[in-house]
């Protein structure tokens, strides 16, 4: 599975969690069932049979019917499987109340995009989505370089797994920090940093592909070694330089410093996609026109294949409409937010402002993009507005933009539109 496909699956899980958490439920008949790949369908079926027998004794008729109905639905859905899928099985089923006050059955079942090793069953007055958070755990590999006065540690963090990859200690004369050894001390420190930079390349760069084997790199140093870290930044492999995500101060070196660096960098690691939002913001300050933002311009750049990385706010609230003129049969595509949807002029012919346009199709622009992105040859990254850079991206860039493969004069799009209109009028 590609990185973009994983991003999309994670986005879909987040969307599902939001929907299930917001569901209005009647009674206690909402079943949340997660079956790990190591389990058996037969065991779960027997468990549901026992639960059905127990629920038959519930005194409240409303609750009894609600629970029995949900269990029956779960049993029927499990009959479709002979064995647990490779990555496990997730099933939510129960009766919810719509915004119009009507009751309808909701059933969601799927094989997660990655293995989920948790067994969970609940029949409650709400859906339990907490176990799904395991699917949202970041798959990024973070590299750590932790330095102090005489030792350096190279570590890696993947999910919750921490591992020490390499460490070395510098042996020098005991009083090397005495003033009379000042020149020697400077030379030794420089050699120390250079050795750390060389080892960083060996540890974090794949010799076959010459590409980093970590998604991001975090530098950590104990007191007094910030200068050495700045030197390290300049000396490491250029490909690793581009991966440096953050620099933190730690109180210790070695493994204690590694664990402290992991904790101190938790927020920036959680918001690793802030790098992309920041990169787009920085691109706008450059002379090269290798960026685009806003719905219309971004979609035009997608159409010409210029977008390399499409960056979208995970809660982008814009709908894609296909509108049809019933008189001429011509169709128009419009992208409207909730305020534009309230303006009825957006549903009339722009030339006459009289002919009412029929809504032939309506869907979330975000859904359309994740379905169609492969046609445009781009990758997709989602950002959240829960951090500064993401909030700025949503506020100033409309929650959608892209980093381009080559320079594009976005202003020419408007000129082209004007020319087309003039030709039509002629």
pLDDT tens digits, one per residue of 376-420: 999 898 888 776 667 878 888 889 998 898 888 877 766 545 444
Predicted pLDDT at 288: 63
Q: At what angle do helices 61-78 and 41-55 cross, to 10 degrees?
A: 170
Residue 230: per-residue pLDDT: 72
Compute the distance between CA of residue 154 and CA of residue 203 in angstroms, rounded to an integer. 8
**What is the mean pLDDT of each successive set of 10 residues along the chain, which is 426 residues long?**
85 93 86 96 96 92 90 96 96 90 91 93 94 80 89 88 90 48 65 89 89 88 74 79 84 92 81 62 66 92 92 93 87 93 87 79 95 92 76 85 87 57 42
Phi, psi of 170 (to 5 degrees): -95, 130
**CA dist., res. 208 & res. 205, Å (int):** 9
pLDDT score, position 423: 41
Whether the predicted model's global pTM rises above the 0.85 cut: no
Phi first, then psi, for residue 303 (nearest 5°) are: -60, -35
- The arrangement of secondary structure in 3-9+18-136, i.e. its CATH architecture, is 2-Layer Sandwich (3.30)
> In terms of Cα–Cα distance, which of 400, 405, 413 is closest to 295?
400
* Phi, psi of 390, rounded to the nearest 5 degrees: -65, -40
Look at residue 353 in the predicted model and tell me its pLDDT. Answer: 61
CATH of domain 281-425: 3.30.1330.30
| In the chain, domain spans | 3-9+18-136, 141-270, 281-425
Alpha helices for 205-344 (secondary structure H):
226-235, 238-241, 254-264, 266-270, 274-283, 295-303, 338-341
Answer whether 299's CB lies under 8 Å from 408's CB: no
Is 88 in contact with 35 (CB distance < 8 Å)?
yes
Sequential DSSP letters for 357-425 = EEEEEEEEHHHHHHHHGGGGT-EEEEE-SSSHHHHHHHHHHTTEEEEESS---THHHHHHHHHHHHHHH
- Length of the chain counted residue by residue: 426
**Strands 103-110, 89-97: pairing kind:** antiparallel
> 164: which residues sit within 8 A by CB, 6+ positions away?
153, 154, 155, 255, 258
Dist. CA 383–CA 277, nearest whole Å: 7
Q: Are 333 and 321 in contact (CB under 8 A)?
A: yes
Question: How confident is the model at residue 74, as a pLDDT?
Answer: 96
**CATH superfamily, region 141-270:** eRF1 domain 2 (3.30.420.60)
Strands 331-337 and 318-325: antiparallel
């Amino acid at each position: 599975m590609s990185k973009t496909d994983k991003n999309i699956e994670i986005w879909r899980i987040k969307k599902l969690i939001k929907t299930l958490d917001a569901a209005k439920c009647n009674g206690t008949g909402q079943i949340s069932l997660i079956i790990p790949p190591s389990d058996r369908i037969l065991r779960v079926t027997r468990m549901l049979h026992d639960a059905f027998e127990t629920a038959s004794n519930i005194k409240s008729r409303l609750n009894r019917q609600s629970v029995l109905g949900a269990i029956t639905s779960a049993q029927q859905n499990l009959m479709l499987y002979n064995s647990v899928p490779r990555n496990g099985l997730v099933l939510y089923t129960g009766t919810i109340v719509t915004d119009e006050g009507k009751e309808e059955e909701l059933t969601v079942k799927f094989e997660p995009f990655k293995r989920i090793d948790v067994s969970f069953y609940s029949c409650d007055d709400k859906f339990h989505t907490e176990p799904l958070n395991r699917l949202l755990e970041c798959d990024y590999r973070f590299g750590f370089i932790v330095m102090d006065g005489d030792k350096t540690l190279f570590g890696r963090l993947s999910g919750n797994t921490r591992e020490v990859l390499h460490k070395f200690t510098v042996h020098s004369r005991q009083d090397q920090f005495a003033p009379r050894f000042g020149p020697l001390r400077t030379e030794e420190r420089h050699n120390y940093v250079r050795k750390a930079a060389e080892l960083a390349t060996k540890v974090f760069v794949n010799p076959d592909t010459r590409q980093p084997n970590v998604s991001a790199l975090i530098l950590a140093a104990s007191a007094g070694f910030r200068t050495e870290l700045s030197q390290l930044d300049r000396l490491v492999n250029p490909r690793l330089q581009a991966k440096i995500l953050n620099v933190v101060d730690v109180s210790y070196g070695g493994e204690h410093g590694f664990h402290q660096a992991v904790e101190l960098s938790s927020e920036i690691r959680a918001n690793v996609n802030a790098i992309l939002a920041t990169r787009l913001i920085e691109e706008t300050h450059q002379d090269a026109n290798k960026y685009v933002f806003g719905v219309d311009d971004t979609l035009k750049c997608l159409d010409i294949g210029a977008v390399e990385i499409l960056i979208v706010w995970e809660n982008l609230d814009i709908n894609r409409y296909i509108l049809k003129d019933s008189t001429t049969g011509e169709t128009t595509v419009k992208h409207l937010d909730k305020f534009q949807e309230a303006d009825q002029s957006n549903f009339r012919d722009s030339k006459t402002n009289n002919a009412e346009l029929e809504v032939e199709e309506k869907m979330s622009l975000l859904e359309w993009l994740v379905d169609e992105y492969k046609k445009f040859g781009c990758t997709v990254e989602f950002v959240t507005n829960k951090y500064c850079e993401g909030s700025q991206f949503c506020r100033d860039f409309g929650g959608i933009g892209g980093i381009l493969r080559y320079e594009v004069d976005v202003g020419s799009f408007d000129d082209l539109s004007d020319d087309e209109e003039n030709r039509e009028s002629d």
